[in-house]
Structure 1
Amino acid sequence: MPVRPIEPGGVDHRSFRLGEDLLIRIPSAPGYVPQVAKEQAWLPVLGPRLPLPIPRVVGGGEPSDRISFPWSLYGWIDGETAMTAPIDDEVRFAEELAAFLVALRCIDATDGPGPGLHCAYRGAPVSQWDDEVHAFLPRIGDARERARAAAIWRDAVSEPDRSAPVWFHGDVARANLLVREGRLSAVIDFGCAGVGDPACDTVMAWTAFSGASRRAFVHVYDVDDATWARGRGWALWKALIQLDSPDQGSVDLARRTLAALFEEGASGGLRGTA
């Protein structure tokens, strides 16, 4: 069957379409290898319990002279990523994404993989990035905005997760959401999924949504204020990293994320954001 690279090819993994009905997913570096066995073991468990399609494991391959790492074979899912696909109703899109994440975190997490290298430590306390955040804060040139960011971070690290560990996706972004006919149709790339604190899954509130769509996401996702505070920390950490990216698109996203975080503070809280 013909093999065709998928563009954009991804960061953690490289993906190729095999024929019309299959997808090959290969780690791009040794650090992403642990994700292969995790996805192969857990995606068949999670898939039947979720309201939208996720990657379906068909098989896998061993390292060889041509491919250095173990790899996976999935069923092909039609759709265009939400980075480029038109979305008919952003509010409905936000509600359906939040409902998917709620369904995910409600799945029995017994024996699920806790935070570690396999998920880039998503689901662990956000305070793990404390040194990085303080080192990166000077990337915000405006002194008042830098002070706002520091306050957001202080709030994030002062709100520990006291709830039972739950399933999280770990990399909720428009690049990992598929759209068909204007609606959310599938969620892909579970390489950073695991069991722990779901605060990392809140970041779309600031990276992708605004106004009514943000309020809709917040309402349906329905977690406590402490989780939202930790989520702001995750969003801030990622934005500070992206500010130094050579890719202008990543820099622009970082600036929009920071603006959303600062706007929220000025408007009196997440649920009151205009």
Structure 2
Amino acid sequence: MHPDEHPIDDALVRRLLADRFPDWAGLPLRRLASGGTVNAMYRLGADLVVRLPLVKGGAGDVLLERHWLPRLAPLLPADVPQPLGAGEPAAGYPWPWSVYRWLDGANPEPGELAKPEQLAVDLAQFVTAMRAIDLPDAPAAYRGGPLAEQDAATRDAVAQLRRLPEEGVDCDAALAVWEAALRAPAWDGPPVWLHADLSPGNLLVADGRLRAVIDFGCTGTGDPACDLFPAWNLLPPPAREVFRTALGTDAATWLRGRGRTLSQALIALPYYRRTNPVMARHARHVIREVLAEG
């Protein structure tokens, strides 16, 4: 997926485990199929999972999670990853990595939700709980700053998609939505705690309910619009309104949230269209949902 991606295979993970956690080294190990773009995931035995950055940029996320997840977990209404082992560079692997407690559940798929309105309520409760957190020395969330910071990358992505007519993206309509978001009043309140990457791949559901939220590598404080992503990347229109109502989202924040969600999808589609089918499929879904909303 990335030009600077570090090769990771079963043998490397076995060597890392043997060096750092010999008591776990003999457990069954299986790489998990994933649409993730930053980490490789390995199921380790029945109760553990190993998470290793694929690129240098993911190394900081590992340290961020180690510090903040134990502090955030008691304050949230859904399970979050529990770091159990702090792996360090070794065996030719250059970055920190972690072992976590395994969390049960499945990634939700747009259009296949068993209880979309209930899931919307669950997601709103999680976002509300994140926003209510008051922990000192909070980091700035990735992509949590002013919307204009994403302008150049978003316009570049639209230009790339104009050269890919087979994708069928209405680029003029996409730019209109983006520019409407840029015109919306900026967030003028205090920064709030965010997950900042509430994509379907970072959610686990069971029996239609939110079970867990994973991958806190983008977490920190910023514009509350950053946690509105599920409105368009997962929820159908009726549940989208349930989500919005449950959060009490004002018009300006909703516009910024829609713009942020669209921007992420526009950037992802040309980058991952040949290398990550899951990410590309979800990006197409978001673009369709946002443009259909008008």
Shorter-chain TM-score above 0.5 = yes
Residue of structure 1 equivalent to 2:156: 135
CA contact (8 A) 1:59 1:74 kept: yes
**Which AA in structure 2 matches 1:95?**
V
Residue of structure 2 equivalent to 1:202: 228
Distance 1:144 1:258 in 2: 8
Deviation track 1:163-216 (CA, whole Å, cap 9, x = no partner) reads 111111111111111122332211111111111112121122112122211111
**Which AA in structure 2 matches 1:261?**
V
Distance 1:15 1:195 in 2: 26
Q: Which 4+ residue blocks in structure 1 deviate beyond 6 angstroms?
A: none
Unpaired segments ≥5 residues, structure 1: 116-120, 266-274
Which moved further from structure 2: 174-183 or 23-32?
A: 174-183
- Listed as ranges, the matches of 1:83-162 within 5 Å are 83=109, 87-115=113-141, 121-138=142-159, 139=161, 145-158=170-183, 159-162=185-188
CA RMSD of aligned residues (A): 2.4
**Which AA in structure 1 matches 2:172?**
A
1:26 aligned to 2:52? Answer: yes
Q: Secondary structure at the match of 1:243?
A: helix
Residue of structure 2 equivalent to 1:233: 259
Which moved further from structure 2: 96-105 or 237-246?
A: 237-246
Deviation track 1:35-86 (CA, whole Å, cap 9, x = no partner) reads 1111001000110111111101212111112532111121111112213996
- Listed as ranges, the matches of 1:242-257 within 5 Å are 242-244=268-270, 245-246=273-274, 247=276, 249-257=278-286
CA contact (8 A) 2:110 2:235 kept: no
Identity of aligned residues (%): 38
How far did 1:132 drift? 2.0
CA contact (8 A) 1:85 1:179 kept: no
How far did 1:251 drift? 4.3
Residue of structure 1 equivalent to 2:12: none
Paired positions, count: 260
Distance 1:229 1:17 in 2: 39
Distance 1:252 1:8 in 2: 13
Distance 1:143 1:65 in 2: 45
Which moved further from structure 2: 4-13 or 156-165?
A: 4-13
CA contact (8 A) 1:87 1:179 kept: no
CA contact (8 A) 2:198 2:229 kept: yes
Residue of structure 1 equivalent to 2:210: 184
How far did 1:255 drift? 3.5
CA contact (8 A) 2:158 2:175 kept: yes
How far did 1:122 drift? 1.8
**Which AA in structure 1 matches 2:283?**
A
CA contact (8 A) 1:86 1:182 kept: no
Change in CA separation of 1:235 and 1:9 when aligned onto 2, cut-off 3 Å: closer
Residue of structure 2 equivalent to 1:51: 77
Distance 1:132 1:25 in 2: 28
Distance 2:50 2:173 in 1: 44
Q: Secondary structure at the match of 1:167?
A: strand
